[in-house]
């Protein structure tokens, strides 16, 4: 044995419970887009947190309704089922039952406890779920504030595998990172249904990063532009800020709207 440990963790849960916020905090990077709109995350994100003698792979997911999620349950060491206080619904129960069926250890992660005013019933509520769905542990966290994330990491220790291999961090391309930044700003700036109906592509041409946003309805173009071009200017500004933080240098960033009418 080498003393090195490795673990893979699937982060699952209903839309909007804070899966991506938790993922970004755990890996200490802003990788996955977050917003207060449901279904912001469209794909899967894989990232590693590498310590001196251990490595944890976290996987952010687009929600329960995906066959890949079900496949991953069978491959990972642990599943975090993320929920918010006293919001446990049938779809959570169904997913927890699938994890039980595959005998994959699950940890109940109760997020957004910073919003909680009344704690008295939380313990009874969570204990009932823990017992019914055979969760190995329950951890109350605030992903946004970064509270209790160490407890969460600690809860993984007994599921770590002994392995010699330390895998280098998966490098997402600049285009992939910028695409996620633009997606996040679209979700944060526009109304509920619009970002779901846009396509984002990124290309680096000479010294400029171009974000191509394809729209499928004339009304969406109007909304993207905003009055006197205000919305697109705000979007460009917000993206530019995150891109500068990411690259540590200022690269020119432009948005181009493309019609698919
Ligand atoms: N108050 C509070 N808000 C949080 C916390 N974690 C996440 N949020 C907010 O909850 C909203 C949803 O967060 P996301 O991380 O995008 O949620 P998600 O589960 O990945 O959502 P989908 O990708 O749409 O499934 C965002 O507005 C976050 O800022 C938390 O610990 N406390
Ligand atoms: Mg998400």
Segment 129-140, tens digit of pLDDT: 999 999 999 999
How is residue 101 annotated by DSSP?
H
Structure confidence at residue 233 (pLDDT): 96
Q: Is 15 left (phi over 0), alpha (psi -120 to 50) or beta?
A: beta
Per residue in 163-196, pLDDT (tens digit) is 755 555 566 888 999 999 999 999 999 987 889 9
Structure confidence at residue 190 (pLDDT): 93
Structure confidence at residue 261 (pLDDT): 80
Helix 230-247 to helix 218-225 angle (10° resolution) is 70
Structure confidence at residue 60 (pLDDT): 96
Query: Does the beta carbon of 57 lie inside 6 Å of ligand 1?
Result: no
- What separation in Å is there between the alpha carbon of 4 and the centre of ligand 1? 32
CATH class of the structural domain 5-162 = alpha beta
Q: What's the rounded mean pLDDT across residues 65-88?
A: 93
- What separation in Å is there between the alpha carbon of 108 and the centre of ligand 2? 17
Q: What percent of the chain has pLDDT over 70?
A: 96
Structure confidence at residue 206 (pLDDT): 84
Ligand 1 atom closest to the CA of 142, numbered from 1: 31
What whole-number distance in Å separates Cα of residue 204 and Cα of residue 211? 9
- How many other C-beta atoms are found inside a 10 Å radius of the C-beta of residue 210? 16
The two structure tokens encoding residue 192: 């509920």
Q: From 13, 14, 15, 16, give the residue whose CB has the most ligand 1 atoms within 8 Å, as the site to mutate.
A: 16
Asked if the domains 5-162 and 174-259 are classified in one and the same CATH topology, the answer is no
What whole-number distance in Å separates Cα of residue 217 and Cα of residue 197? 9
Query: Does the beta carbon of 19 lie inside 6 Å of ligand 1?
Result: yes
Q: Is 55 left (phi over 0), alpha (psi -120 to 50) or beta?
A: beta
Contact 155, 106 (CB under 8 A): no
Query: Does the beta carbon of 41 lie inside 6 Å of ligand 1?
Result: yes
Q: Which of 194, 192, 113, 198 is nearest to 147 (CA)?
A: 113
pTM of this prediction?
A: 0.90
The domain limits of the chain are 5-162, 174-259
What whole-number distance in Å separates Cα of residue 191 and Cα of residue 198? 12
Query: Does the beta carbon of 36 lie inside 6 Å of ligand 1?
Result: yes
Phi, psi of 73 (to 5 degrees): -50, -35
- What separation in Å is there between the alpha carbon of 221 and the centre of ligand 1? 28
Query: Does the beta carbon of 63 lie inside 6 Å of ligand 1?
Result: yes
Q: Give the residue, by CA position, lying nearest to ligand 1 atom 21.
A: 16
Q: Tokens 């919305």 map to which residue? A: 231
Residue count of the chain: 261
Please state which of the four CATH numbers 3.40.190.290, 3.40.50.150, 3.30.300.20, 3.30.420.10 is assigned to the domain occupying 174-259.
Answer: 3.30.300.20
Ligand 1 atom closest to the CA of 13, numbered from 1: 19
Q: Tokens 């992660």 map to which residue? A: 109
What whole-number distance in Å separates Cα of residue 200 and Cα of residue 178? 10
- What separation in Å is there between the alpha carbon of 49 and the centre of ligand 1? 21
Phi, psi of 62 (to 5 degrees): -85, 15
Per residue in 96-135, pLDDT (tens digit) is 999 999 999 999 999 999 999 888 899 999 999 999 999 9
Q: What percent of the chain has pLDDT over 90?
A: 77
Q: Give the residue, by CA position, lying nearest to ligand 1 atom 30.
A: 112
- As a whole number, the mean pLDDT across the chain is 92
Structure confidence at residue 96 (pLDDT): 97
Structure confidence at residue 192 (pLDDT): 77
């Amino acid at each position: 044995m080498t003393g090195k440990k490795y673990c893979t963790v699937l982060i699952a849960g209903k839309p909007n419970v804070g899966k991506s916020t938790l993922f970004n905090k755990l890996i200490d990077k802003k990788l996955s887009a977050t917003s207060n709109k449901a279904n912001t995350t469209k794909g899967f994100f894989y990232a590693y947190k590498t310590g001196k003698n251990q490595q944890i792979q976290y996987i952010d997911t687009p929600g329960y309704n995906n066959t890949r999620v079900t496949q991953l349950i069978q491959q990972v060491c642990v599943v975090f089922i993320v929920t918010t206080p006293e919001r446990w619904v049938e779809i959570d129960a169904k997913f927890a039952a699938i994890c039980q069926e595959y005998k994959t250890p699950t940890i109940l992660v109760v997020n957004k406890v910073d919003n909680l005013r009344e704690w008295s019933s939380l313990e009874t509520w969570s204990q009932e779920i823990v017992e019914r769905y055979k969760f190995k542990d329950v951890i109350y966290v605030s992903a946004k504030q970064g509270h209790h994330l160490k407890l969460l990491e600690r809860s993984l220790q007994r599921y770590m595998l002994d392995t010699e291999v330390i895998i280098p961090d998966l490098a997402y391309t600049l285009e992939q990172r910028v695409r996620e930044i633009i997606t996040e700003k679209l979700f944060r700036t526009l109304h509920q249904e619009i970002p779901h109906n846009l396509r984002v592509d990124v290309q680096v041409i000479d010294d400029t990063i171009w974000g191509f946003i394809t729209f499928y309805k004339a009304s969406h173009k109007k909304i993207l532009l905003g009055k006197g071009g205000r919305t697109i200017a705000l979007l460009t500004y917000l993206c530019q800020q995150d891109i500068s933080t990411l690259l540590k240098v200022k690269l020119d960033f432009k948005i181009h709207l493309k019609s698919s009418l």
